[in-house]
Amino acid sequence: MKTSNVSKMARLALVGCLALNAMADGPTVSDVVVRQRWPWSRLVDINYMLDCEDGKQADVQLSAFDGATKVPLSRDSLSGDLYGVSRGQRRIVWDPMKTPFTNQVLMRFSVDLAPTHSPLYMIINLIKPVGADGQIEYVFEEDLVTNKWGTWERNPVTNFGTAVESVIWTGVTNGSAYKTDKLVLRRVRADTFLMGETVPPTKSVTLTKDFYVGVFEVTEAQWDRIVGGGSTSTLPKGSRSCNNLRGATNNVPPVDWPSTGSFVSTNEFMGKLRSKTGINEFDLPTEAQWEYFCRAGTTSYYSDGSSMTSSDTNILNRLAWWTKNSGATSHPVGEKTPNAWGLYDTHGNVWEWCLDWQTELGMGPFTDPVGTAGGIKRSLRGDGFKYTGANTCASGNRGFTFPDQGMDVYGVRLVIKLP
């Protein structure tokens, strides 16, 4: 199988149509039509047909041209069927108002569409400038299982007797580069899962968009690569408040999820991270996203697939640095057993900030829940290395505190939201 499995590329000028014959070795694009909604709107619709195996999904990479000149399009100017796309008639929407084209009739605009199998991991080099060769790399499952990226395994986790299928990259823990100079994120598929504090949980939640999630909690070294400093420590970065990460409600302009959406202060960590990497979709997870990637297909007390109560501390000791085994200090990320999706320290080490204001979840079902419009305390998940007990390390446990609080047990795990 080819490395990225880009099997066919479709090129089409504005207001036109092109058909391509399908190829047997991967996803293909055909029946492309590109049309601007002018004069009533500047938006451009890029309609296409994706052909891939039943039950499979693909990403669609888009390149744009003004005549013969390639035009960079910001990620936030594109929406629609770009990531995790299933077979069928699909649409991408481009907003020229978010680019230098701003207010033009687009007569020379054209695009290339390149369908690929979805990568399993994304690697972002924090010491390379935006757009440099190797600044962003992707790891595909077909390459991972050939040992191109070091060691890997098919995770043996079962959920009360049912296998949780996944391939995880264990070699990511070898050496320090992926914990200092680079960020590694795992692709998570959109799906419906059960959320809540009972075993098994009972609240049905559907997430409609794929996203990437950090394999590790952000380390002190990674933090310094973003904000400045020379740390080489692979301890999780603690003592960070939610306001330190995104900005505060009393900023001018205010930062207040969900009412201000993905907007963050350019002076705080998330704003600097977006500028440093060129990825404006970096953010904290919602509570639903956090519990989804923590559980990784399980419905057990912890994310191991078999624990029933907080008394299963023999299991917790394998997964987490917590009050009883940490020595009241944090530990380098990635030393404990990962969950079924290859995520480390989702239990213990440091609490991880989420976006949501404190709220009661209700009975559900829910689709892409974002919490209440306002509140007093923000949510935290996963527990930390001291102060609390085995029960607060549970996959379904919820913690809350004031957004300006920055205790040593409060840290961060990043997500990249896909449109």
> pLDDT digits over 317-360, tens only?
999 999 999 999 999 999 999 999 999 999 999 999 999 999 98
State the average pLDDT over residues 28-33. Answer: 92
Instruction: Return the pLDDT at 272.
Output: 98
Is the peptide bond between 39 and the residue preceding it cis, with omega within 30 degrees of 0?
Answer: yes
CA dist., res. 295 & res. 106, Å (int): 47
Q: Nearest CA to 383 among 217, 194, 160?
A: 217
Tokens of 215: 């394999």
**DSSP track, 101-152:** TTT---SSEEEEEEEEEPPSEEEEETTS-TT-TTSEEEE-HHHHTTTTTS--
Least confident among 154-163, 236-245, 329-338: 154-163
State the average pLDDT over residues 212-226. Answer: 98
Instruction: Return the pLDDT at 23.
Output: 34
**Highest mean pLDDT, choosing among 54-63, 71-80, 314-323:** 314-323
99 pLDDT tier (thresholds 50, 70, 90): confident
State the average pLDDT over residues 291-312. Answer: 98
Instruction: Return the pLDDT at 102.
Output: 64
Sequence-distant (6+) residues with CB within 8 A of 322 are 316, 347, 348, 383, 384, 385, 388, 389, 390, 393
Mean pLDDT score of the chain:
91
Query: Does position 16 have pLDDT exceeding 90, yes or no?
Result: no
Tokens of 80: 């629609």
Query: Does position 21 have pLDDT exceeding 90, yes or no?
Result: no
Residue in the structure block whose two tokens are 């999706």: 341
State the average pLDDT over residues 150-171. Answer: 93
b/e for 63-82, b at 16 or more Cβ within 10 A?
A: ebeeeeeebebeeebbebbb
Instruction: Return the pLDDT at 117.
Output: 87
CATH topology for 10-117 is: Immunoglobulin-like (2.60.40)
Query: Does position 8 have pLDDT exceeding 90, yes or no?
Result: no
68 pLDDT tier (thresholds 50, 70, 90): confident
- Under a CB-based contact definition with an 8 Å cutoff, are residues 239 and 408 in contact? yes
Domain ranges of the chain: 10-117, 121-417
Instruction: Return the pLDDT at 25.
Output: 61
Instruction: Return the pLDDT at 104.
Output: 62
CA dist., res. 29 & res. 7, Å (int): 9
The helix/strand/coil state of 173 is: helix
DSSP-derived letter for residue 333 is T
What percent of the chain lies above the pLDDT cut of 90? 78
276 CB-side CA count, 13 A: 23
Is the peptide bond between 72 and the residue preceding it cis, with omega within 30 degrees of 0?
Answer: no
Is the peptide bond between 365 and the residue preceding it cis, with omega within 30 degrees of 0?
Answer: yes
CATH topology for 121-417 is: paralog of FGE (formylglycine-generating enzyme) (3.90.1580)
Query: Does position 108 have pLDDT exceeding 90, yes or no?
Result: no
Q: Nearest CA to 343 among 193, 196, 229, 211?
A: 211
Distances from the Cα of 3 to the Cα of 21, 117, 317, angstroms: 21, 10, 38
Instruction: Return the pLDDT at 224.
Output: 98
206 pLDDT tier (thresholds 50, 70, 90): very high
